[in-house]
Amino acid sequence: MEVKNITIAYEAYTGIDELSAQDKQLCLEAVKAMETSYSPYSKFRVGAAVLLSNKQIVRGSNQENAAYPSGLCAERVALFAAGANFPNEEIVTIAVTASTQEFQLLRPVTSCGPCLQVMAEYEQKQDKPIEVLLYCIGGEVWKVKGVNSFLPMMFFEKRLGKG
């Protein structure tokens, strides 16, 4: 038997002002997206902004439903909108932020497993990593180069879909 370890690397910034102008703008676009959140049940608002290779920015926010499985996270709303409206453009970066009146967020919020799996699928489709910015409003920003850092053993089967 052999024990193996998996480690991830990410950049941690103390605030949004340490970012490049482009990354800062994308984080602010995620904040704007969060304003359209429909989250009456969780009261946890999430916004995402996707930067495409054509410089277009696509926003998404979490959309809840009383039948809980019917809702959708901000990341998937933004990614699916980008895929549907700009199918031939690569996804360069996604910025994600969140807020709630229920408690104080002290660090960036990470994406859930299904959202990471969708990001991973887009990375496989475009054969290029997606940069992920996780922004805690008024606090830290974490920058991750590629979804593989979150899901090093992600599910992807290349033989699926081949006829």
CA distances from 134 to 53, 57, 64, 86, 144 (A): 20, 16, 21, 23, 8
* Catalytic residue selected from 75, 89, 102, 140: 75
DSSP secondary-structure letter at 3? Answer: -
Rounded distance between C-alpha atoms, residue 151 and residue 148, angstroms: 5
Q: Is 102 a catalytic residue?
A: no
Sign, Cα dihedral of 53, 59, 62, 65: negative
| Active site (catalytic) residues | 75
